[in-house]
Amino acid sequence: MIKISWALIAEHVDEWTGATADEGAAALEAKVGAVVDASSMPPRAKRHFRATFIGPVVEALRTEGAAALARGESWSKAAGPLLACASPVG
């Protein structure tokens, strides 16, 4: 099991616990994306936010994060106002 926590600075903090980094990356993308979608940002800014901040963190979790977690290590990544951390549980 792994636990992923994230913070969208001054907006939202959340976490997810589950089996794989790929599942966690999907949850991270969906939950942070939902916060961005609910914001008052114009559509162009929302697309930019997803591409510039959410996308790189999610991709890094699927690659670097998954490798670190497989070794029993923690991982973290920040992009702009988004910070995500993952660690093995148990």
Q: What is the pLDDT of residues 5-24, one digit of tens each?
A: 999 987 789 999 999 999 99
Beta bridge pairs of residue 85: 5, 76
- 3-state SS class at 74: coil
Q: What is the pLDDT of residues 42-66, one digit of tens each?
A: 999 999 999 999 999 999 999 999 9
Assigned token pair, 76: 């973290």
First to last CA, the chain: 7
Contacts of 78 by beta carbon, 8 Å cutoff, 6+ apart? 57, 84
Among residues 13, 49, 52, which one has the least CA distance to residue 31? 13
Q: What is the pLDDT of residues 61-81, one digit of tens each?
A: 999 999 999 999 999 999 999
Q: What is the pTM of this model?
A: 0.92
| Domain definitions of the chain by residue range | 2-88
